[in-house]
Structure 1
Amino acid sequence: DGDLIGVNSFILSRSGSSSGVGFAVPAAIVRRVVETAAGGGQAVVRPWLGARTQTVTGEMARSMGLSVPQGALVADIWPNGPAARAGLRQGDVIVSVDGRPAVDAAAVSYAISSRRPGDQIKLGVRRGGGEQTLTLRAEAPPATPARDQQVVSGRNPFDGATVVNLSPAVADELGLDPFLGRGVMVTNIGRGFAMNAGLRPGDMIKRVNGRDVATVKDLMGIIGAGGGQWQVTIVRNGQEVTANFRT
């Protein structure tokens, strides 16, 4: 039909010619970038669903009476988020977005994130053996708690690390699960003890010397108390790791 579906970005070619595997940015994403730039914006705001979803597998489809393994199962709902206000519930299966079939969880996420904040989105939902349509208002992920980004210094295991409060907005920026819970995320490692201690970007600091760390303020308060012995618990790739340090 002559519709633009994407803008070429690069090609993987063994011969060096224009033959091989081509890659492109979807037109819907390009449109959002152009609109943002033309409006004077510095970054594209991507709406979020406000729910944790997982792709419906064959086994899940059979247990729910679905004819084919298709759609996104709602596993968790963010309190007072877009999904919650739209009426989504745990156990619902999103089978379509704006009338188009939702193949899996990634397709649902892409369909939501490519819309503009404020747009009304129709979700086809299977619930209790029947299907219904819910209306979701596209919203940017909230930046609560505030980012409070700081670079840690001093005689402590986090010296040289850049840390921020985890929020749905930060999680979206870093490609993380916003349902990880409250905590302090390491976003960068510079020169200092943190590098030698093995901390990495993406680590979530959960406890220091037996005290829970929910915010950057909590962490800085514990560090400020000083001490040469440190017990640190982080979450890395879904696993809790505890280590002891001397500074």
Structure 2
Amino acid sequence: MARLKNSAVARRQDAAPGIMRLLTALAALTAMMLALYAAPAFARGAPESFADLAEKLSPAVVNISTSQTLKLGAPGAPVPGLPEGSPFNEFFEDFLQRQPGGQAPRKVQSLGSGFVIDPDGIIITNNHVIEQADEIKVNFSDGTTLAAEVLGRDPKTDVAVLRVEPDRPLPFVKMGDSTKARVGDWVVAIGNPFGLGGTVTAGIISAINRDINAGPYDDFIQTDASINRGNSGGPLFNLEGEVIGVNTAIISPSGGSIGIGFSVPSATAMPVIEQLKEYGETRRGWLGVRIQTVTDEIAESLGMDEAKGALVAEVTPGGPAEEAGIQAGDVIIDFDGKDVPSMRDLPRIVADTKIGREVETTVLRGGDKVTLEVKVGRLEEAEAKAEGAAKPDADQSNEPTLTLGLALGELNANSRRRFNLPDDVEGVLVTSVDPAGPAAEKGIRPGDVIVEVAQEKVKSPSDVVERVKAEQEKGRRSVLLLVSTAGDLRFIAVRIEEG
């Protein structure tokens, strides 16, 4: 009997490791299933409903109603029913001016959207919604209508801040962090499309960091949540109910939604909003350079391993960059400790830098890294000084020397007079361009002036030929030209022809 008991105990002891392994496997499987259940949206699928979110957020979303008084007969006044810039506008303006009542003023009304971010009455919308308005009214979902004043507006980011005077705290929404948003995240738009207030639409983030050439600080969130006319200025929410974008534009041949809408990210809008609230205007940093994209060809011509950074085409006289020693031809790769991956990144980085700060700026110059100290200026002051300044004219001249598909000539009194070239433009004149040549591919035109070749100044057509030949002998496939067009400088990498 004792032997039987001992053998049973032995069998149980032998089975114990197997049972433990089974229990461990079951525990791991359970943990994995729980993790999958609690995982991101792709494991759970679409939200069951947006109703709770819409109910909570809608009271803070408002309709913006504006009115503007126009004289139909006044030159430049838009003609109702015709798109701005239409060739028929001029005809109808002339017609209306000849009518007895042609000068009678007419009130034009428009609608947009906005949202409350402060219970004391601070409202965000688009600049283009309230621009040039004589009167602005804010309509709330409970039927209340309040007159609004403009605290500040910024055409560059299309953001405006309004204030109303409520008799009680207003429902409001919080701004979120758009930098955490990812392509594929669910988003909800609430607004006033076609005057239909309180409209809720949902979709996903289709893309981020979109540049649609709307302004110098383009960094839009693209969404397929339906956005139509009247949604402008309304909020784009994440599923936490935070505003991560201000709806501002659509791409549509018909004027209706085709699933391509754009929002100003909250990360872009918030610094602007804070400045407009505090100062009534923006206060952006300024470097004082004109920059362009570093293409693969330009990178190769400069001996760079990869195309990155912002190429300085021109330095503003007396600006922060000139005082710091930045030169045309430098490639800015780092500003204030922040990497500059491409040209379009630099304006945003500089704009967000505190005015008056001295920051380290790293540039590539002649293949070497150079670090300079730049004291950041204020963009708005620079723009005010430049406003009204006449732009220099430009265009052609003289006896041809041929290279790169270009006919080149000397700059002299006759050529300057003939092509209205200013005295301060120095270099070699482009007299004609071979349509099939490499320079034509890059948009060089007769009348342009070549200022530098391979970052060396040129004064005669022979200088250009010699510099191009020298670059070819180095094995370069393209040569970098600094070209003046109508007084504006730009770098162009032109392919060197074989033979």
Per the normalisation by structure 1, the TM-score is: 0.51
Deviation at 1:112, TM superposition (A): 1.1
Where does residue 93 of structure 1 map in the other structure? 331
- Deviation, 1:89, is 1.4
For the 8 Å contact 1:93–1:127, the answer to whether it is kept is: yes
CA displacement at 1:37 relative to structure 2: 2.9
Quote the residue 1:38 is aligned against. 277
- Aligned partners of 1:22 and 1:135: how far apart in 2? 40
Q: Does structure 2 conserve the Cα–Cα contact (< 8 Å) formed by 1:55 and 1:105?
A: yes
The answer as to whether partners of 1:36 and 1:42 remain within 8 angstroms in 2 is yes
Query: 1:239 and 1:83 mapped to 2: Cα distance?
Result: 23
Matches within 5 A, 1:23-102: 23-39=262-278, 41-102=279-340
Secondary structure of the residue aligned to 1:165 is: coil
Residue 133 of structure 1 corresponds to: 371
- Residue aligning to 1:20: 259
Aligned residue type for 1:137: K
Structure 1 partner of 2:388: 165
Q: Deviations over 1:75-123 (max 9, x none)?
A: 2211221111222112211112233332332221222123332234332
CA distance in 2, matches of 1:99, 1:44: 23
| Residue deviations 1:195-223 (CA, integer Å, cap 9, x gap) | xxxxxxxxxxxxxxx9x9xxxxxxxxxxx
* Alpha-carbon shift at residue 22 of structure 1 (Å): 4.4
Q: Distance in 1 between matches of 2:336 and 2:258?
A: 36
How far the C-alpha of 1:145 sits from its partner, in A, is 7.6
Distance 2:388 2:250 in 1: 39
Q: Which amino acid aligns with 2:317?
A: P
SS at match of 1:53: strand
Compute the displacement of 1:47 (Å).
2.3
Show structure 1 runs of 5+ residues with no match: 148-163, 168-179, 183-209, 213-237, 241-247
Q: 1:86 to 1:181 in 2, by over 3 A?
A: farther
Residue type of the partner of 1:43? E
Q: Is the 8 A contact 2:177 2:266 kept in 1?
A: no
Letter aligned with residue 355 of structure 2: P
CA–CA distance in 1 between the matches of 2:251 and 2:316?
Answer: 44
| Structure 2 residue 335 is the aligned partner of structure 1 residue 112 | no
Residue 239 of structure 1, CA deviation: 6.4
Work out the percentage of aligned pairs sharing the same amino acid. 32
Contact 1:145 1:166 (8 Å CA) reproduced: no
What SS does the aligned partner of 2:269 have? helix
Distance 1:146 1:137, change over 3 A: closer
Cα distance in 1 for partners of 2:361, 2:486 equals: 34
Could you list the runs of 5+ residues in structure 2 that have no partner in the other structure?
A: 1-175, 180-243, 394-419, 423-484, 488-499
Residues paired across the two proteins, number? 157
Structure 1 runs (4+) greater than 4 angstroms displaced: 10-14, 143-147
Residues 178, 267 of structure 2: 8 Å contact kept: no
Residue 49 of structure 1 deviates from its aligned partner by: 1.7
Q: Which moved more, 1:97-106 or 1:60-69?
A: 97-106
Pair 76,10 (structure 1): closer, same or farther in 2 beyond 3 Å: closer
* C-alpha separation in 2, matches of 1:13 and 1:60: 32
CA-based RMSD of the aligned residues comes to 3.8
Aligned partners of 2:271, 2:282: CA distance in 1, in Å?
Answer: 7
Query: Cα–Cα, structure 1 residues 132 and 54, in superposed 2: closer, same or farther, change >3 Å?
Result: same
Residue 90 of structure 1 aligns to a residue in which SS?
coil
Q: Tell me, what secondary structure is at the counterpart of 2:344?
A: helix
- In structure 2, relative to structure 1, the CA distance for the partners of 1:132 and 1:181 (3 Å cut) is same
Measure, in 2, the Cα distance between the counterparts of 1:119 and 1:19: 45
Find the residue that maps to 2:353 and give its secondary structure.
coil
Greater relative contact order: 1 or 2 (C-alpha under 8 angstroms, separation 6 or more)? 1
Amino acid at match of 2:320: P
- Shift in CA distance, 127/19, structure 1 to aligned 2, threshold 3 Å: same
Task: Summarize the Cα distance change of 1:24–1:116 in structure 2 as closer, same or farther, 3 Å threshold.
Answer: farther
The 8 Å contact of residues 246 and 266 in structure 2, kept in 1 or not, is answered as no
Give the Cα separation in 2 of the matches to 1:27 and 1:94: 27
* CA gap 1:122/1:31 in 2 versus in 1, 3 angstroms: farther
Q: Which amino acid aligns with 1:166?
A: A
Distance (Å, rounded) in 1 between the aligned partners of 2:362 and 2:371: 5
Specify the structure having the higher radius of gyration (Cα): 2
Matches within 5 A, 1:147-158: none
